A and B are shown apart, each in its own frame.
Chain A
């Protein structure tokens, strides 16, 4: 039976990467289409029906672009940096349960790549922190002042907001009594979604996520007006595409994480056994969160850098601490909400 397990893992891993790549391509399409309508434009509508082939056209264009490496750049690090940013974004999803255990060909298969890891949240926090290396190294190795400043800003911003993010992770852990994401989803199926019980934590989590993935209004590292393109100023062709890939893949990934931790994951309220409806429910929740990100981008201007730091340290961090206290109090006062 050992080789069947191997096949199962490989199939799951390939499926995950294929889904993420398609998701990335059509995330860019969805964003451009929605941004267009937000700004009274059409968005892409030339390549194929409704512009549906636009991501493919973009990919083909980027593949044929010249790959430039600045002569004074640190070549090894310069080439390594895009890979260092892409890989964490891909492997993050390994611990997410996409549904309950299903039976295919008489085998019980859990719909998650790495299975039910009992340190799932620890894994998430660890891997999200790794991707900051890719960005800061990309900025540093380019040997360009704008790129370096973009990279430094990015790392400062990510470290500041990771504190609030980490504290926001504690809410679901307290209520589920476990770091396992499967247990967290099951607990939400039992008592209801955590976003209802801890709305402040949920909002802090969403804000910190936006900062973590450098999305507008916290897209400081790539502030065009000040830093041209930030850390990826010197990148072109497929290496540039890999940074874009990371950005959009991470949007999807953090939406999946937010949906799993606060919006019940694959759980549908009032339904006992979701089966194959579970992944679909998760997909819809993720779509709504992604739409929210596009909506925020269409509306809010970029924060000023000092205000961003002040907001992270002086408002978000104390608020996150307070919300941890609130959640702890909630679990003590209503023991039914806490872990069994």
Chain B
């Protein structure tokens, strides 16, 4: 009764056993040590970008908060001065919070941003044990300062950063 089929099946599984044991190439990815790269258009946790000179791109306009369908973003802006300059232009985001229990990772905030300050990054390891921990603050979201550059706020020459939206080199 099905002797030939059973024999073939047994041979197949045994061959796989030997092959995966000898070659040592199971398909499993050993997750915390080894991570699968995400695709280039992957929408993960947001990152607030900086310019090359260390100033923040975010100007606190709240367009991202307006575009957000899940109402996950909260922005509060304050005035920039030449002595304490966070970003080009008049204003910067003094508070920037994203609630990751609300966020649906649609990427509308990214589309709405006039300065390309907010970008959905490649981090998908979002886990929290508390509702409060789900709210990511500006300090947690913002990109690291480029090497050999000062962090914001910086003291700058008057009249250098008057325009909030700089001329983009390669507009999308």
Chain A residues with CB under 8 Å of chain B are: 34, 36-42, 295-296, 298-300, 311, 315
User: B17 and A311: CB pair below 8 A?
Assistant: no
* B172 part of interface (Cβ distance < 8 Å): no
Closest to A217 in B: B6
**Which residues between 11 and 60 of chain B lie within 8 Å of chain A, taking CB atoms?**
12-14, 16-17, 20-21, 25-28, 30
Q: Which of B1, B17, B26, B27 contacts A34 (CB 8 A)?
A: B17
CA distance A41 to B26 in the complex (A): 5
User: B17 and A37: CB pair below 8 A?
Assistant: yes
Closest to A298 in B: B13
CA distance A37 to B17 in the complex (A): 5
- Chain B residues with Cβ below 8 Å from A41 are 26-28
Name the distance in Å between A293's Cβ and chain B's nearest Cβ.
12
Q: How many residues of B contact A (CB 8 A)?
A: 16
Name the distance in Å between B68's Cβ and chain A's nearest Cβ.
39
- Chain A residues with Cβ below 8 Å from B28 are 40-42
User: B9 and A37: CB pair below 8 A?
Assistant: no
* B160 part of interface (Cβ distance < 8 Å): no
Using known A-B contacts A40-B26, A311-B1, determine if residue A300 contacts B6 with beta carbons closer than 8 Å: yes
Pair count A-B, CB < 8 A = 39
User: B20 and A40: CB pair below 8 A?
Assistant: yes
- Chain A residues with Cβ below 8 Å from B13 are 38, 295, 298-299
Q: Which of A42, A298, A315 contacts B1 (CB 8 A)?
A: A315
CA distance A230 to B25 in the complex (A): 36
* B10 part of interface (Cβ distance < 8 Å): yes
Name the distance in Å between A290's Cβ and chain B's nearest Cβ.
15
CA distance A298 to B11 in the complex (A): 11
- Chain A residues with Cβ below 8 Å from B27 are 40-41
Q: Which of A42, A295, A315 contacts B14 (CB 8 A)?
A: A295
CA distance A299 to B12 in the complex (A): 8
CA distance A253 to B6 in the complex (A): 25
Q: Which of B1, B12, B21 contacts A37 (CB 8 A)?
A: B21
CA distance A41 to B14 in the complex (A): 14
In order of increasing CB-CB distance, the 8 nearest A-B pairs are A299-B13, A299-B9, A40-B20, A298-B13, A40-B26, A38-B17, A40-B27, A37-B17
Closest to B15 in A: A38
